[in-house]
Amino acid sequence: MKCLVKSKAEKGLWMETRPIPQIGPDEVLIRVNQTGICGTDAHIWNWDEWSQKTVPLGLITGHEFAGEIVELGRNVDDLSLGQRCSGEGHLISKHSRQSRSGKFHLDPETKGIGVNVDGAFAQYLALPAFNVVPLPDAISDEIGAILDPLGNAVHTALSFDLIGEDVLITGAGPIGIMAAAVAQHVGARHVVITDINQDRLDLAAQVTDVVTVNVSTTDLQSVIDNLGMKQGFDVGLEMSGNAAAFDQMIEAMVMGGRIAMLGIPPGKSLVDWNRIVFKALTIKGVYGREIFETWYKMIAMLEDNLDISRIVTHRFPVDRFEDGFAAMLSGSSGKVVLNWRA
């Protein structure tokens, strides 16, 4: 089978031919139809400090996918051949307190496909049946291939009650934009998304009709005033990993506001804890998706007309994967999808 491999300790990925994986009794074999390129994949492509410490050379990368089941392990009796699916890319253990209490997304022994073990940038993927998420007919393979990042957006957005609330999102990358669409879909009052990349803000305006603000040219306080929000935002979703954006969010929150943080800063950053304490802010770190509650909720919202289709801006056959990564690394794309059946 064809697959994309981190075969050298330098920038890039390389197309290789590997044997089709052999599955165990509790696994399924999935023929991959489409895959999304994630920010994590871009880190691996760039072979940055994190990647060098985390990713073994020779690894098949990729973790956002949609496909169909072509082989069942002998113990698998709740899935079927030909069934369309996506899947949870976090492989959990069954030993930790968190796993044994059903808090699978908090398992400290988690391994990631395409990061720690062979992943989905391949024509075939072996996956535990436990991790398989069947796709309803209403969800296309293209959307199925980006359910992983949508799940990050849903997990972050639904960390706090949003009904009737005023929501600030910092960072208009694809996940931030999808979080804005989710916040609006579930009943937030005002949703504002900020960035300094106008291309990303323009994409946000195409995907949803929330308020977009380029904070390099527009004062956020003037937007707050124009919206009639006397005290500021009730809920903040920090998606940028940028310290200046986080500082701006803290200033813009109401007393007792709540912040969910998905963005990862590049290193240690200064935080004005006095402002956080004296504003009585609640801050929650978000990692991955709640397994499998987030999947249930995002599929339900998609079936209830949550439309994120325009977040996909680039589509390439897998043989043009280098063009796909160039688009992803440009900083002006939405989601980039590779077609493995083209």
Mark whether 294 is an active-site residue. Answer: no
If one counts every other C-beta atom within 10 angstroms of the C-beta of residue 259, the result is 23
Helix (H, G, I), strand (E, B) or coil at 258: strand
What's the chain's length in residues?
A: 342
The C-alpha atoms of residue 87 and residue 127 are separated, in whole angstroms, by 8
**What kind and span of H or E run contains 200?**
helix 198-207
Catalytic residue check, 43? yes
Q: Which of 17, 35, 43, 194 is catalytic?
A: 43
- What is the token pair recorded at 218? 């527009």
SS3 sequence, 213-239? Answer: EECCCCCHHHHHHHCCCCCCEEEEEEC
Number of C-beta neighbours around residue 39 at 10 A = 14
Tokens read off for 329: 């690394």
* Six token digits for residue 94: 């069954």
What is the C-alpha to C-alpha distance for residues 16 and 7, in angstroms, rounded to an integer? Answer: 9
Sign of the CA dihedral with 142 first, then 64, 16, and 18 last:
negative
Instruction: Output DSSP code: residue 266.
Output: S
Give the integer Cα–Cα distance in Å for 106 and 118: 22
Q: Which of 103, 110, 72, 69 is nearest to 86 (CA)?
A: 69
Q: At what angle do helices 39-46 and 321-329 cross, to 10 degrees?
A: 100
For 130, the 3-state DSSP assignment is: helix
Active-site entry in 35, 40, 61, 208:
40
Q: Whole-angstrom Cα distance, residue 54 to residue 36?
A: 21
Hey, which residues are catalytic here?
40, 43
